[in-house]
Chains A and B, each alone.
Chain A
Amino acid sequence: MVMSSLKLQDLIEEIRGAKTQAQEREVIQKECAHIRASFRDGDPLHRHRQLAKLLYVHMLGYPAHFGQMECLKLIASPRFIDKRVGYLGAMLLLDERQDAHLLITNSIKNDLNQGIQAVQGLALCTLSTMGSAEMCRDLATEVEKLLLERSPYVRKKAVLTAVHMIRKVPELSDTFLPVCAKLLHERHHGVLLGTITLITELCERSPAALKHFRKVVPQLVQILRTLVTTGFSTEHSISGVSDPFLQVQILRLLRILGRNHEESSESMNDLLAQVLAVNILGRFLLNSDKNIRYVALTSLLRLVQSDHSAVQRHRPTVVECLREPDASLSRRALELSLALVNSSNVRAMTQELQGFLESCPLDLRADCASGILLAAERFAPTKRWHIDTILRVLTMAGSHVRDDAVANLTQLIGGAQELHAYSVRRLYSALAQDISQQPLVQVAAWCIGEYGDLLLEGSCEETEPLQVEEEEVLALLERVLQSHMSLPATRGYALTALMKLSTRLRGDNNRIRQVVSIYGSCLDVELQQRAVEYNTLFRKYDHMRAAILEKMPLVDRGGPQADEEVKESKEATHLLEPAPVPTEPQASKLLDLLDLLDGPSEDSQQPPPVDPSPEGTLIHLLDLPCAPLAPAPIPNLKVFEREGLQLNLSFVRPPGTPTLLLITATATNASEGDVTHFICQAAVPKSFQLQLQAPSGDTVPAQGGLPVTQVLRILNPNKAPLRLKLRLTYNHYGRSVQEIFEVNNLPVEAWQ
């Protein structure tokens, strides 16, 4: 009994006529009720119409699961119209997550075996869209047979179904590999295209297949050559290019086959020179079509690793692309520009990049700033230029630079004695203008504290004559201290700088003493502690003050930042959220020293005060922060155990390199089965640098066989709490295992 339900087109009409979401919902609910009823006891001849309507509302976002069984019924029907809609329904409503999906396997099998090619086509198409691994295993033989069918219509679909099957069930590669050689002789473009896709899939998944197919390189080259050189064939051409889809696919396969294989590459070279041309890429950069520009930039970026000088030729054009308003293009241009910086063009490029930094979209700003700083570090022609560049970047994009920029800059300035006066003046001017950019403020405060005397005395030839009064300097630092924009770390810098100035300036120190004593009751515990200690320095140890606040010796820092570190920190961010890292100011080394003096805070367990005595003892005290204590051994940590396989971590902090931590990961196997293909990967938060050295092996033999060890080098310049995430993959007892976990209970000695 069919109720008065709408035809598909009328339903669509009515849905579109609905003025509100509620109205639409009403129409659809009403219709779905009809559809349900019709499924139950309606005319089977019209079932396909009902399902079609259901599929339409499903696309609008409404539930349609009650149609799943109807798909099965329609597929099993002998009528083509039923199968057409039924299979469509299966592709839209059924996937491997539903148990019901397996029920169509039998119907598909039948349809593959009966002789009507349109029906075979439907079945193959459905199989390749939603076929689960199980279905693929069951139907592999059928598909294999169809690869040899007379009709190219069926063959072309069978080949692509085979591709899907291999993706789902890699073991089926063995079934489909043998027939490829024959299929390569195809004349039909569709079958040939499918075959190339199939071979590509096989090669990507198995090194043995890759080796096997290297011998067809000459054949592929021949096919491609024919395509490129034959005349115009309208049927397969696009804009005068013969079958670009096929050409692209062949090129892709050739690339895979030729990789790292001299012989294959040789046989391709000639042809490829015809088809591609690096020089043309430069012309593409000037093309008015943005899509072409995008692809040109991407291709050049890939090329710049292998053929740097060729790409350098296009540098001016690349830099032009920085001005693109289109974010996709300017991002690519930025990456490429950074890759093109070298010692001869660094000044010009940095200028361009700084120009870009001023106006670039926010999400690119961090990358741009980091890129400029990295390039400056690698290629700076002079120290002064380097300092200037960092200064400019900090002024323009201070909040976007990486955490270690402050440490790097103070290190740099500290080491350039001839530039102390210059730096402190420039920084003072910058600070006077803007106290909001935290990294800049921190560096400036540190410099003013250290070199305040140079700021006030006479002139420096390299900058404009700057007359600065003592009171102005103090006022500025006080402003920083009081500003709500200043981070706690920044205020720490400012307070310490003020303190240092007490010995650098000539006037009396009343103002400084006042500020210091006010902050003795500051709510921020860190500031309070400093202030209290400085206060004590004024009150009780005034005679030591000058010596303690002397200019700092140059602090040793870890090796130069290399590209590696940037790559690794990028990789690390994928596994772990960046932990908030407080920047540790250089002045804390001073605090370590002050800890040894008696402070009034009740909780402190500081060692008893040292007797005020001649210079000898004082010099000894000053040495202390630089001479590290002998490290106590850090306890080992068992981090993983499964079925007899255990992973232990041991920690070493080599003396003399306080920021370095060496972790040795040891994998032992007490079980009865060997552990093979063992790979351990690690990730750390953004501010750390991680280097995994090569493991001792990848097999841990059973019953306590020789363990696999691997060393992780971790640099922790900010002394942040260590977080470590590990990923283990291995085979054990015939199964492949993957474990990802974060290591808990890391001993604090690993980073403090």
Chain B
Amino acid sequence: MKGRSEEPWPGGSMRFMLLFSRQGKLRLQKWYLATSDKERKKMVRELMQVVLARKPKMCSFLEWRDLKVVYKRYASLYFCCAIEGQDNELITLELIHRYVELLDKYFGSVCELDIIFNFEKAYFILDEFLMGGDVQDTSKKSVLKAIEQADLLQEEDESPRSVLEEMGLA
């Protein structure tokens, strides 16, 4: 007998990633599924409460609604990923750590303030590392190089020269 519905989730394994401070201020939210603003705010509020209530020595995994939440605290920031029930928690933890390393390399000893004042950069870096919730590139070097090049392209836009030709990318 088939039990409750077992439809495949029409999205990837990661549903969303959140960064928030100890005081419950949201610093980044990346959603890999379409939900209304209202519903998102509700989920964020709820999840923040649950995670902030965890004690320091507890493990990094908890069950919330029908998802698994993998979180880790780095200084004053919580990095939080919601994944499907059957997914690999430890690799998600590695994923979070890899993202933090990327931020660290980019900003040079990253702290929460960097992410606050350069939130768009944090997004750009995340988007070079993950796509649709899946890892694009497992080489730190490669991801950082891509960001660097994009930053250069951006700077050159302020100047009148045709940089594209200069970089041989046209």
A contacts, CB < 8 Å to B: 9, 12, 16, 52, 55-56, 59-61, 79-82, 84-85, 88, 91, 95-97, 115-118, 121, 124-125, 128-130, 132, 153, 156-157, 160-161, 163-164, 167-168, 189-190, 193-194, 197, 204-205, 235-236, 238, 243-246, 248, 252, 290-295, 298, 325-329, 567-568, 571, 574-575, 679, 681, 683, 691-692, 727
Contact = CB atoms under 8 A, between A and B. Distances in A.
B61 A571 contact: no
Contacts of A156: 136-137
A84 B124 contact: yes
Contact of B34 (A96, A167, A204): A96
B88 interface: yes
A9 B119 CA distance: 10
Interface residues of B, number: 64
B127 A238 contact: no
B145 to A, nearest CB: 9
A13 B74 CA distance: 23
Contacts, number: 173
A294 B89 contact: yes
Nearest to A729: B5
Contacts of A167: 10-12, 132
Q: Is the interface of B mostly helix, strand, loop or mixed?
A: mixed
B58 interface: yes
A291 B120 contact: no
Contacts of B158: 81
A79 B154 CA distance: 8
B57 interface: yes
Interface in B137-166: 137-142, 146, 149-150, 153-154, 156-158, 164
B34 A130 contact: yes
Contact of A679 (B2, B28, B30, B157): B2
Contact of A294 (B61, B131, B138): B61
B58 A326 contact: yes
A727 B158 CA distance: 60
A235 B10 contact: no
Give the top 9 A-B pairs by smallest Cβ distance, nearest first. A290-B59, A190-B137, A692-B1, A571-B3, A128-B132, A160-B131, A95-B34, A164-B132, A80-B153
B138 A190 contact: yes
A340 B73 CA distance: 35
Nearest to B119: A56
Contacts of A327: 58
Given A128-B131, A290-B59, A294-B59, A248 B91 contact: yes
Given A118-B150, A291-B59, A326-B55, 8 more contacts: A9-B117, A81-B157, A91-B127, A190-B136, A205-B8, A290-B59, A326-B57, A681-B3
Contact of A571 (B4, B91, B156): B4
A95 B11 CA distance: 14
A171 to B, nearest CB: 13
B43 interface: no
B91 A244 contact: yes
19 contacts: A52-B120, A79-B157, A80-B150, A81-B154, A88-B120, A88-B124, A116-B169, A118-B153, A129-B132, A168-B10, A189-B139, A194-B136, A205-B8, A235-B141, A290-B60, A291-B61, A293-B59, A681-B5, A727-B5
B116 interface: yes
